[in-house]
């Protein structure tokens, strides 16, 4: 089978990690795999996924189209590259690749184009463009049941050609990681640290953590908060951290390896307004970490039976700061509760969200499409 994977860019993110694991898995199973990135190659410090693909001889090509004003040129480039070496299946990831890649693949004569919907973002222009792209697809893969419902209700996706394949994770990477010693970032080793890891963007609901900081952290000398990532909120968050005090809050840049942070963390905080299936929750669960996250698309599906132990949930209603504080405070206070739920999280991920399962599901879908 010949498969092209089309993606907006290859910086390290949830969708990019999933694509990389899928491309590597399909290559190892004997299929011809190629990755086409609309954007430019990542900077040297964020080249990890590209290096992994190159090390296993997966062809990766970059268009260098980093701005929406070049979308026509990007579509033509994709169509030329696809036509030069036609695949049996094109799989697109992320909004721009869904829209431009689907159009390019159809122009190049590819019969089977599979889209990838990874987030339930209800912006009007985005809905219009992505719904048009979906009509050209042979099939649409959603990362969660809630995202599938969103696709059917908001994007007019055909339920018969719309399925769910959740993300996978390499559980041993996080399970066996060596925990970070907090003294490495200037804090006492015994600190209780809540971590936020992700794009510093309004989508992530970071303002809720700021609003609840005093009640959750300020009156407890051993509790601290570290936020890891880059994005449009980085500067205002850095100013806020300076005001609060670097002895209580640190804003760290994007990290090449977050496993040591998750292994050492008291909990993960993720108060997002919307998601699809957040990879960082999978990674935290694989590390045996408690996750305090909003009940948005994908998060509760990830937690599954691990979401409640001894009457203690890991989820709260999006935007409910008081609920976030009650939940996080309960975990700060009880090491036994954290241990119990952390072990349940780890087992749940290993049983239901492995990379092997994800790759097998995609491979079966492609084979089904080609058999028709």
Q: Which helix (H) or strand (E) holds 366?
A: helix 355-371
Question: Does the structure show a pLDDT above 70 at 181?
Answer: yes
pTM of the predicted structure, to 2 decimals = 0.87
Name the strands in the sheet holding 59-62, side by side, starting at the edge strand that comes first in the sequence: 59-62, 32-37, 2-7, 89-93, 112-117, 139-142, 162-164
User: Can you give the pLDDT at residue 304?
Assistant: 65
- Residues 14, 280 contacting (CB under 8 angstroms): yes
Looking at the DSSP bridge assignments, the partners of residue 196 are: 227
> Where does the pLDDT of residue 16 fall: very low under 50, low under 70, confident under 90, or very high at 90 and above?
very high
Name which of 30-44, 59-73, 217-231, 309-323 the model is least confident about: 309-323
Residue 37 has which token pair? Answer: 């990135």
Quick count: other Cβ atoms within 10 Å of Cβ 183? Answer: 11
Mean pLDDT estimate for the chain? 93
Say whether 171-352 and 2-168+354-371 share the same fold: yes
- Tens digit of pLDDT for each residue in 125-171? 999 999 999 999 999 999 999 899 999 999 999 999 999 999 999 99
In which band, very low, low, confident or very high, does the pLDDT at 45 lie, cut at 50, 70 and 90? confident
Residue 111 DSSP code: S
- DSSP track, 209-262: HHHHHIIIIIT-TTEEEEEE--STTHHHHHHHHHHH-TTTEEEEPP-S--HHHH
Q: Give the pLDDT confidence score for residue 312 in this predicted structure.
A: 56
**pLDDT reported for residue 310:** 45
CATH topology of domain 171-352: Rossmann fold (3.40.50)
CATH of domain 2-168+354-371: 3.40.50.2000
* Residues 74-89, mean pLDDT to the nearest whole number: 97
Q: HSE of 237 in the Cβ direction (CA atoms, 13 Å)?
A: 28
Domain ranges of the chain: 2-168+354-371, 171-352
């Amino acid at each position: 089978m010949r498969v092209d994977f089309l993606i907006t860019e290859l910086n390290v993110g949830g969708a990019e990690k999933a694509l990389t694991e899928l491309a590597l898995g399909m290559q190892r199973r004997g299929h011809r795999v190629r990755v086409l990135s609309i954007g430019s190659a990542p900077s040297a410090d964020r080249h990890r996924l590209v290096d992994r693909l190159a090390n296993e001889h997966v062809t990766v090509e970059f268009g260098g189209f980093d701005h929406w004003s070049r979308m026509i040129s990007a579509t033509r480039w994709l169509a030329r590259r696809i036509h030069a070496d036609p695949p049996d299946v094109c799989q697109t990831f992320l909004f721009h690749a869904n829209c431009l890649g689907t159009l390019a693949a159809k122009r190049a004569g590819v019969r089977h184009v599979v889209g990838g919907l990874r987030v339930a973002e209800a912006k009007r222009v985005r809905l219009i463009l992505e719904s048009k792209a979906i009509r050209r697809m042979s099939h649409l893969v959603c990362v969660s049941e809630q995202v599938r419902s969103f696709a059917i209700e908001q994007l007019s996706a055909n339920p018969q050609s719309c399925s769910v394949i959740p993300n996978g994770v390499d559980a041993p990477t996080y399970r066996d990681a060596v925990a970070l010693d907090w003294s490495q970032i200037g804090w006492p080793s015994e600190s209780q640290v809540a971590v936020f890891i992700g794009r510093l963007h309004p989508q992530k609901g970071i303002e809720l953590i700021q609003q609840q900081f005093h009640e959750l952290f300020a009156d407890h000398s051993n509790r601290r908060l570290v936020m890891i990532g880059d994005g449009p909120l980085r500067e205002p968050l850095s100013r806020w951290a300076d005001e609060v005090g670097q002895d209580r809050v640190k804003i760290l840049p994007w990290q090449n390896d977050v496993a040591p942070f998750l292994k050492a963390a008291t909990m993960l905080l993720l108060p997002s307004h919307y998601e699809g299936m957040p990879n960082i929750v999978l990674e935290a669960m694989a590390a045996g970490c408690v996750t305090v996250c909003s009940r948005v698309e994908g998060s509760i599906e990830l937690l599954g039976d691990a979401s409640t132990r001894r009457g203690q949930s890991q989820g709260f209603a999006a935007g409910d700061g008081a609920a976030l504080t009650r939940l996080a405070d309960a975990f700060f206070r009880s090491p036994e509760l954290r241990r119990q739920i952390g072990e349940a999280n780890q087992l749940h991920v290993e049983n239901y969200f492995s990379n092997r399962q994800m790759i097998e599901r995609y491979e079966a879908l492609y084979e089904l499409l080609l058999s028709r």
